[in-house]
Chains A and B, each alone.
Chain A
Amino acid sequence: MDYFVSTVIFTGIALIGVLGVYLITGLTGLFSLGQAAFMAIGGYVSAVLIRNYNVPVVPAVALAIVAAMLAALLVGLPTVRLRRDYISLVTLGFGEAIVALLNNSANITGGAMGISGIPQLTTLPVVLVSVVVCLALVILYKNSKYGRQCLALRSDELAAKSMGIDVYRLKLITFLFAGALTGYSGVLFGFYTTYLEPAAFNWIISAEWTIIVFVGGVNSLTGTVLATILLTWLPEFLRFASEWRVAIYCVIVLLIVNYRTAGIMGERELSPKTLRRLLGRTKEAPR
C-alpha cells in the first residue's frame, strides 16, 4: 500500500511539472530544455528557507514559487523576442547553469552531495489537492483569452501578431505561469523525498517531460494528463523486465510517436460535453 501511495504521489508531482511543459510546448509551441531547473529552484529555495532559516512552511512555499517565477522572468525577458529555436537553447543553458550553481554553492545547498533532512510535508491529500488546483488553473488558462491567443500564436506567430496579439507579452506570461507550476512541483518533490541533489534536474528530465506531452497529444490537455499517468506508471509495470525497462519504455514511446503521431488523444479533450456524449445522454446535433 505504501508503495502504491508513493507511486501516486510521484505521479502527481510529475503531473504538475508536465503541466508546466504543456503550457509552454502544447499551448505556445516553444521548447524548454531547462524546465527541470525551475523544479530545482522551487525545491531548493523552500528547503533552504525551512531548514536553514526556520521560515514557516506557507511563506517558504510562496517564496519558492516567487523565486521560480523570477527565474522564469530572468530567462524569458531577453529570449521571448528571439527565434523559437533560441528559446530551447537559452533554457538548456540556463538549466545547466542552475545545476552548476547548485553544485558550487556547497555552503548553502550542500553541493553535489545534495541537501538532506528536509521535513516530509508532502502527503497524499496534499498532492491530490495540489493536482486538482493546478489542473483547474491550467484548464482555466487554456480556455481564457490568453489560452486562445497562445493557440493562435502557436499555429502562426506572424498572423497572431497582425491580429493585434502582443506575442512577446503572451509568451512571457505563459513562461512565468509554467515556471510557477514547475517550481511548485519541485517544492512538493523536496518535501516528499526529504533529499535534493543537483544531478536530478538535468536537461534529460526536461526532455522526458516534453516527450510525455507529445505522447499524450500536443493538442490535448486530457492526453497530457493521461500520458503522464501512463508513462510514470509504465516503468513500475515493467519492473519484471528489470534493466530492460527504460529501453522498452523508449520503444513504446517511439511506436506512439511514429505510428500515432498526433499522440494518444489527438486533439480530443475530455470535457463535460464529450463526457455526456460518451454516456449517451444527449443526442448528436443534426448536421
Chain B
Amino acid sequence: MLVQNILNGISLGSVYALIAVGFALIFNVLKFSNFSQGGVMTVTAYAGYVASRYLSDRLDSLVLFAAVLAAAAVSGAVIAAAVERLAFRRLRRTKSEPVYYFISSITMGILLENLITIYASSNFYSYPRFFATSAVPLFGVNVAVTDMMMFALSIAALLALLFILHRTKIGLGIRAACFDVNTVQLMGMNPDFLVTTALMISGALGGVSGVFLGMNYTLYPQLGQMVVKGFVASVLGGLGSIHGAVIGAVLLGILEIFFISWVGAGWAPVFVFIVMLAFLLVRPRGIAGIIVQEKA
C-alpha cells in the first residue's frame, strides 16, 4: 500500500511538474504567475481528444498516443504564442508592472476556458484507451500503464526542457532574459522572440499535461483549473526555480495521494493546506532556497 501510494503520487506529481515548470519558466522571464496556462491546458486537452478521434482508425496504441501528445504540444505552443501576442505584447511595450500581466493572463485563461465551453457545450468526453494492458506488476504492486507513461514522458519532457535551456543558443538567450530583458536587447537579441519562445515552451509542456489530466479525469472545460496545482508547486519550490518546481510538484502529488488514501478525497485539500502553511512557516524561502530580494 505504501509503495503503491508513493508510485501513484510520483506519477501524479510528474504531471503537476509539467505545469509547475511552465510557471517557473515564465516567472523567471516576465516575473509573474502565468495563469493563462490553465486555459491553454483546457484547449490542448480538447485538441488532443480531437486528434485521437481522427487518428484512432489509422494508428494504434503507442503510435497513436505519441501522435496525440505531439498534436497537443504543438497546439499548446501555438496558443501560448497567440496569448503572448494578444495579452502580453502591449504590456511589455508599455513596460507595465507584473501585476497587470497577472490580471491579463487570468482573464485570458477564463476566455480560453469559455471558448471551449461554447465549443464543447459543457459535455463530458473521455479519451480512448491507448494501451491494451491496463496495469503491470512492479515492486510487488500493480502500476497502471498510463501512470508509468505519464511519469516517463514527463521526465522526458523535463529533460528536453533542461537541454534546451542549457545546451542551445535559444536557451542561453532565455536564461539571459531572466536576468534582464533590456540588457538582452542591448546584446543584439530579440526579446520578443525570446519571450515568445519561453511561452511556447511552457505552452507545449502545458499541452502534454493537458492530455495527461484529460486521461486521468474526464474532459471538461474546467479541467484547466487544475493549473492551481502547478502554481502551488512552483511557489513551494521557490519562485522561479525550475528544479524546486519539480521537487515541489512531486511532493505535492505524493502528499495528495497519501491524504486521499488516509482521509478521503474530500478532506485532502484541508490537510494539504495545513501542511503547506506549516512548510511556509518553517522554510519561507521555498524548497530551492533562493532568496528573491524584495526591492531594497
Q: Please pick, from B102, B115, B235, the residue contacting A247 in the complex, using a CB distance under 8 A.
A: B115
Are B269 and A100 touching (Cβ within 8 A)?
A: yes
Q: Which residues of B contact A251 (CB under 8 A)?
A: 111
For B87-101 the 0/1 string (1 means CB < 8 A from A) is: 100110010100110
Are A89 and B235 touching (Cβ within 8 A)?
A: yes
Q: How far is the CA of A104 from the CA of B115 in the complex (A)?
A: 32
**Interface 9-residue window, one of B44-52, B159-167, B275-283:** B275-283
Q: How far is the CA of A76 from the CA of B254 in the complex (A)?
A: 27
Tell me the dominant secondary structure on chain A's binding face.
Answer: helix
Are B269 and A99 touching (Cβ within 8 A)?
A: yes
Q: How far is the CA of A31 from the CA of B35 in the complex (A)?
A: 14
A214/B103 contact (C-beta < 8 A), A78-B281, A89-B276, A100-B270 known: yes
Distance from B189 Cβ to chain A, minimum over Cβ atoms (Å):
25
A89/B231 contact (C-beta < 8 A), A254-B108, A261-B96 known: yes
Tell me the dominant secondary structure on chain B's binding face.
Answer: helix
Interface membership of A152, Cβ < 8 A: no
For B208-238 the 0/1 string (1 means CB < 8 A from A) is: 0000000000000000010010011001100
Are A254 and B228 touching (Cβ within 8 A)?
A: no
**Interface 9-residue window, one of B9-17, B125-133, B176-184, B288-296:** B288-296
Closest to A99 in B: B269
Closest to B270 in A: A97
**Interface 9-residue window, one of A44-52, A80-88, A116-124:** A80-88
Q: How far is the CA of A96 from the CA of B276 in the complex (A)?
A: 12
A254/B232 contact (C-beta < 8 A), A79-B280, A93-B272 known: no
Distance from A102 Cβ to chain B, minimum over Cβ atoms (Å):
10
Are A90 and B110 touching (Cβ within 8 A)?
A: no
Interface membership of A259, Cβ < 8 A: yes
Are B273 and A96 touching (Cβ within 8 A)?
A: yes
Q: How far is the CA of A99 from the CA of B276 in the complex (A)?
A: 17
Are B110 and A204 touching (Cβ within 8 A)?
A: yes
Interface membership of A243, Cβ < 8 A: yes
Are A257 and B103 touching (Cβ within 8 A)?
A: yes
Are B268 and A100 touching (Cβ within 8 A)?
A: yes
Q: Please pick, from B117, B273, B280, B292, the residue contacting A97 in the complex, using a CB distance under 8 A.
A: B273
Interface membership of A258, Cβ < 8 A: yes
- Interface residue ranges of A129-182 to B (CB < 8 Å): 156-158
Are A247 and B228 touching (Cβ within 8 A)?
A: no
Interface residues on B, range: 35 or more
Q: Which residues of B contact A99 (CB under 8 A)?
A: 269
Closest to B265 in A: A100
Interface membership of A211, Cβ < 8 A: yes
Distance from B166 Cβ to chain A, minimum over Cβ atoms (Å):
26
Interface membership of B187, Cβ < 8 A: no
Q: Which residues of A contact B267 (CB under 8 A)?
A: 100, 104
Q: Which residues of A contact B273 (CB under 8 A)?
A: 93-94, 96-97
Q: A85-B33, A89-B232, A258-B104 are in contact. List 12 more A-B contacts (CB 8 A).
A: A31-B102, A89-B236, A93-B272, A96-B273, A202-B225, A207-B35, A207-B110, A250-B107, A250-B110, A250-B111, A253-B107, A258-B87
* 23 A-B pairs with C-beta separation under 8 A: A79-B277, A83-B294, A89-B280, A90-B276, A93-B232, A93-B277, A96-B273, A97-B273, A99-B269, A100-B268, A100-B269, A104-B264, A104-B266, A158-B294, A202-B225, A207-B35, A210-B106, A246-B117, A247-B111, A247-B115, A253-B107, A257-B91, A261-B96
Nearest 10 A/B pairs, CB to CB: A250-B111, A97-B273, A100-B269, A104-B266, A93-B273, A97-B270, A246-B114, A89-B235, A214-B103, A258-B90
**A-side interface residues toward B, CB under 8 Å?**
31, 78-79, 81-83, 85-86, 88-90, 92-94, 96-97, 99-101, 103-104, 156-158, 202-204, 207-208, 210-211, 214, 218, 243-244, 246-247, 250-251, 253-254, 257-259, 261
**B-side interface residues toward A, CB under 8 Å?**
33, 35, 86-87, 90-91, 94, 96, 99-100, 102-104, 106-108, 110-111, 114-115, 117-118, 121, 225, 228, 231-232, 235-236, 239, 264, 266-270, 272-274, 276-277, 280-281, 284, 292, 294-296
